[in-house]
Amino acid sequence: MSVVGDAPKGVVAVLDARLRDRVRRAGLDPQAQAESVRAIAEQVVGEHDRLSLTGQVTTLADPAAVVTELVARVAGFGPLQAYLEDPTIEEVWVNEPSRVFVARDGKHELTNTVLTPEEVDELVERMLKSSGRRVDVSQPFVDALLPDGHRLHVALAGIARGFTAVNIRKHTMRAANLDTLVELGTLTDGAAAFLRASVRAGLNLLVTGSTQSGKTTMLNCLAEAIPGGERVISAEEVFELRFAHPDWVALQTRQAGLEGTGEVRLRDLVKESLRMRPNRIIVGEVRAEECLDLLLALNAGLPGMCTLHANSAREALVKMCALPLLAGENISSTFVQPTVASTVDLVVHLTLDRDGSRKVAEIVAVPGRSEQGVIETEVVFERAHDTLVRRSGMPPRPERFDRIGIDVHTLLNGTL
């Protein structure tokens, strides 16, 4: 429990109760009408401050800080609110009430915030309130989106040993397009120009990397290069994509209801998206059997892109061949492997360096051939001496570049 300045816990608790009562009587939705809650909090603290001049109540050393604390308690997420508002923090997680961590620049820090189990449960309930999702004994895990776009994951006590585990991955999009990634040092001008041309040409891109390596940010930046005249349908477990496009429909999965019905899986979204007249399909992250449906869509000539957890571009292709097998016993690797080889055009692999920076480690082309169970690849760009270096690889489907007036050989030779 945080204590504001020199204000005793008891004083803050009294003001908290008074604020909640007034908000309730005013019929306000605290999270949706946070500014109104702040105005009432300022009134409550102002009244207390004036009364303190008579000596009847304790003087507040920092009334403004108390207002901020009260608003965080009632309209925000209590002791975690300050971390969510801090732009330098990328992620917040609670291992147990007395161990709250944050991540800055890819590095973990143990904070001095100490909660109670009851506070953690109340925070989880409040966070899920606006998402329409639930967590209980029958559904002990949940992924949800917070109002500010942050992604919440909860594992209930019993599944998590001892206490409920909470992760909040903040929506800290530092790059909106490929040019910004160049400025951040994630990739070079030449690599950015090549990726931009590849997206415009309609190549199928697979963005890979470890957790927190910047896959979603890269996917957003690639999506910004999609021509405005195309209709884009995206499918995600939780809404995370943020890019500007005039004709874009975003879909997300849904949990089963209390009756055990109504679940909408990522696989369902991929299938349904094909009925929505897309020119391009984006899948936020491929984890399981939905990979088969995505491959079938891309193999039918529909351009698309997705992300995948992997340690290298080569391992990503191996994983891409394995995931469709989860769809059923009638799915054979003899079908999947050549389909992956002929469908995936480029793999963009990212890494998270020890200093917390995200870098493109390699851009690999897939010519479309596989021999003896191995998909052939060509390295187009590879990181060496902390920069992306042009290698000899060439992308498949050069006719697609010609169609949009780009000579891909000239484009790539200009990066040598």
Residues 195, 161: one domain? Answer: no
Residues 221, 267: one domain? Answer: yes
Residues 382, 336: one domain? Answer: yes
Residues 234, 273: one domain? Answer: yes
Counting residues of the chain whose pLDDT is more than 90, the rounded percentage is 57
- Last residue within a domain, chosen from 169, 201, 233: 169
Residues 265, 392: one domain? Answer: yes
Residues 67, 87: one domain? Answer: no
pLDDT score recorded for residue 260: 77
Token pair 């040409």: residue: 201
Residues 338, 286: one domain? Answer: yes
- Domain range enclosing 304: 178-413
**295-333 residue pLDDT tens:** 999 988 899 999 999 999 999 999 999 999 998 888 888
Instruction: Examine residue 237 and state whether it is found in any structural domain, yes or no.
Output: yes
When computed from its CA atoms, the radius of gyration of the chain, rounded to whole angstroms, is 25
Tokens describing residue 140: 């002990």
**326-385 residue pLDDT tens:** 988 888 888 999 999 999 999 999 998 887 789 999 999 999 988 888 899 999 999 998
CATH code, domain carrying 198 = 3.40.50.300
Instruction: Examine residue 323 and state whether it is found in any structural domain, yes or no.
Output: yes
Q: What is the pTM of this model?
A: 0.82
Residues 246, 128: one domain? Answer: no
Instruction: Examine residue 285 and state whether it is found in any structural domain, yes or no.
Output: yes
Residues 202, 338: one domain? Answer: yes
Q: How confident is the model at residue 16 (pLDDT cuts 50, 70, 90)?
A: confident
Residues 152, 276: one domain? Answer: no
Q: How confident is the model at residue 7 (pLDDT cuts 50, 70, 90)?
A: low
Instruction: Examine residue 4 and state whether it is found in any structural domain, yes or no.
Output: no
CATH code, domain carrying 131 = 3.30.450.370
Instruction: Examine residue 406 and state whether it is found in any structural domain, yes or no.
Output: yes
pLDDT score recorded for residue 416: 46
* Angstrom distance (rounded) from CA 172 to CA 105: 11
pLDDT score recorded for residue 415: 53
Instruction: Examine residue 2 and state whether it is found in any structural domain, yes or no.
Output: no
Give me the number of domains the chain comprises: 3
Residues 397, 285: one domain? Answer: yes
**43-52 residue pLDDT tens:** 999 989 888 8
Residues 262, 221: one domain? Answer: yes
Instruction: Examine residue 1 and state whether it is found in any structural domain, yes or no.
Output: no
